Amino acid sequence: MDNITTNNSVNDTLDVLIIGAGFTGLYQLHALRERGFKVHLVDAAKDVGGIWHWNCYPGARVDTHCQIYQYSMPELWQEFEWRERFPNWEQMREYFKFVDRKLDLSRSISFGARVRTATFDEDKREWTVYMLGHQPIRARYVVANLGFAAKPYIPKIEGMDRFKGEIHHTALWPQGGLDMTGKRVAVIGTGASGVQVSQEAALVAKQLTTFQRTPNLAIPMHNQQYSAEDNRAMRPELPAAFERCRNAYAGFDFDFIPKNATEVSAEERQATLQALWDKGGFYYWLGNFQDYLFDDKANDYVYDFWRDKVRARIKDPQVADKLAPMKKPHPWGAKRPCLEQWYYEIFNQDNVTLVDLGEKPILGITEKGIVTADGETEFDIIALATGFDGVSGGLTNIDFRDGQGRTFKEKWSSGVRTHLGVSAAGFPNLLFGYGPQSPAGFCNGPTSAEVQGELLVDLLGHLRDKGITRIEATEAAQEDWFKLVEDFWAMSLFPKAKSWYQGANIPGKTQQSLNFPNGLPTYTAKFKEAAANGYAGFVLN
């Protein structure tokens, strides 16, 4: 699907314009079409998939098991066959093309349309959205589903533009791929993409140097290959799994153990942690004792178990001290752990070097390589695994303008404020899914897409049925939502970790909880409570 697709219906004013062709946007498109809305979707990419259109760096792979990393619609899961427990980027693209074909979505999508700015006409009560690659589109409502990883963060390193080799952010990796065989590779950053690229580079590169600022407290993936018979066997279990997702804190088909790590015996605690470890995936993170993200002592138990497991895999004690310090660098689980397969073993190889940026910061980049206090090291490829301006970056990166000409960047210069994580005062008729102060990065993506998608579609249906043509969040409701989020955040151990969860990875960004940390069931209940009270917190007219 290489050609840009347009749809003549966008010449007229739409009921709803959706931005973003990931899990969230595609779900909304399907649901709104089913309800008879005049709806269209635009995306900057050439195909569906959202982040999985762009992700193609070596090792890019889902960190949620495939059983629940898909839509819960029976017409989809009854047919699609997964090849792995944790699919790679290529299979994710296959899945999205399958969804597109089954639901006939592309006829209502314009690809190659990158949104640049949007203005609201108060008299007409409609948005005009301007894009590169497409004519302007007018719509009564806009729903922006930009994801938590829409704006890659590229640090300012002296001399970066002079490097003569290949240098790419992992989110902007060449779609045609990049062969690392026999090359000298640098990976800057040890977030999820840094771990994944490092694992792959270590297999084929002449030399790999991984630059670490903070150790990634990664957990075993335990990936598996799936056959057609495996797919047939797991399908009967899926309806119950999808239902559990809706009722679990993080939208997974399992939840925290209703016991405190500090109150069970040492034997039970050890056995429980071992069982979670053996399951692989996020069980050790999101299926652990209920107190470990709130009680430092409980967190120590979880970290110490993790540390001992990891250190046993690393031969050099000095390297082990950097990858799995004896004293935890921050509460375990307060930063999103990634899933690894053979990450820690690569540092036992002669062709792999770990550089601690705390001891030897990068001083600059030259035509040939990277300079630290030890001098210049030459590289052929530099991978910038430096993360994103998370959660809010997508919205602040687009020049949305309200009736007074204000942008999100201006409104949120001192911190994000939303109501229900879907709307902001000053931006009437603009809603956002999978965005700031919603479950977003604290929730399994497809679960969030469906649960929040249903809530948003119901909201838009209510507006249409009541003849309402304008909706705007109130400042008071935003402050109440902000307090709900921050009070929970302050009770937890999350603030003790400098993470993208609170914007700590972006210089100058106000630090706060960028997601809704209170859990998906609480989010759903709060949204439905507002709906039952005539969508309290909004001005509707």
Q: Per-residue pLDDT for 78 more than 90?
A: yes
Q: How many separate domains does the chain show?
A: 2
Q: Are residues 141 and 219 in the same domain?
A: no
CA pair distance 212, 319, nearest whole angstrom: 12
The secondary element (H helix, E strand) that includes residue 33 is helix 23-34
Residue 416 has, within 13 A of its CA and on its CB side, a CA count of 30
Q: Are residues 294 and 393 in the same domain?
A: no
Residue 57 lies in a domain: no
Q: Per-residue pLDDT for 302 more than 90?
A: yes
CA pair distance 21, 6, nearest whole angstrom: 14
Residue 180 lies in a domain: yes
Residue 101, classed as helix, strand or coil, is: helix
Confidence of residue 404 (pLDDT cuts 50, 70, 90): confident
CA pair distance 332, 350, nearest whole angstrom: 30
Output the six-digit token pair for 73: 């619609």
Confidence of residue 9 (pLDDT cuts 50, 70, 90): low
pLDDT single digits (tens) 366-398 = 999 999 999 999 999 999 999 999 999 999 999
Q: Are residues 169 and 273 in the same domain?
A: yes
CATH code assigned at 523: 3.50.50.60
pLDDT at res. 446: 98
Residue 2 lies in a domain: no
Residue type at 184?
R
Q: Are residues 340 and 417 in the same domain?
A: no
Query: In angstroms, what CA-CA distances link 124 with 121, 140, 191, 257, 332?
Result: 6, 9, 46, 52, 51
Q: Are residues 534 and 398 in the same domain?
A: yes
CA pair distance 91, 89, nearest whole angstrom: 6
Residue 415: is it exposed, middle or buried by C-beta count within 10 angstroms (0-12/13-18/19+)?
middle
Nearest to 384 by CA among 227, 178, 527: 178
Q: What domain range is 464 assigned to?
A: 8-48+105-151+389-540
Q: Per-residue pLDDT for 533 more than 60?
A: yes
Residue 302 and residue 274 in contact, taking contact as beta carbons nearer than 8 Å: no
The secondary element (H helix, E strand) that includes residue 92 is helix 89-103
> Which residues neighbour 428 within 8 Å (Cβ) at sequence distance 6 or greater?
120, 122, 125, 402, 403, 470, 471, 472
Last-in-domain residue among 355, 384, 413? 384
Residue 124 lies in a domain: yes
Q: Are residues 290 and 414 in the same domain?
A: no
Rounded average pLDDT over 353-374: 97
Q: Are residues 413 and 474 in the same domain?
A: yes
User: Three-state SS across 149-205?
Assistant: CCCECCCCCCCHHHCCCEEEEHHHCCCCCCCCCCCEEEEECCCHHHHHHHHHHHHHC
Residue 72 lies in a domain: no
Last-in-domain residue among 363, 384, 405? 384
Residue 95 lies in a domain: no
Q: Per-residue pLDDT for 7 more than 90?
A: no
Residue 68 lies in a domain: no
Query: In angstroms, what CA-CA distances link 429 with 12, 16, 418, 426, 539?
Result: 17, 10, 14, 10, 11
Q: Are residues 218 and 336 in the same domain?
A: yes
Last-in-domain residue among 341, 360, 384? 384
Q: Per-residue pLDDT for 532 more than 90?
A: yes
Q: Are residues 527 and 448 in the same domain?
A: yes
Residue 79 lies in a domain: no
pLDDT single digits (tens) 425-445 = 999 999 999 999 999 999 999
CA pair distance 427, 408, nearest whole angstrom: 9
Q: If you average pLDDT over every residue of the chain, what do you get?
A: 96
Residue 181 and residue 201 in contact, taking contact as beta carbons nearer than 8 Å: no
Pair type for strands 219-220 and 339-340 = parallel
pLDDT single digits (tens) 141-199 = 999 999 999 999 999 999 999 999 999 999 999 999 999 999 999 999 999 999 999 99
pLDDT at res. 4: 38
Q: Are residues 484 and 459 in the same domain?
A: yes
Confidence of residue 2 (pLDDT cuts 50, 70, 90): very low
Cβ atoms within 10 Å of 438's Cβ, excluding its own = 28
Q: Are residues 281 and 308 in the same domain?
A: yes
Q: Are residues 279 and 332 in the same domain?
A: yes
pLDDT single digits (tens) 43-55 = 999 999 999 999 9
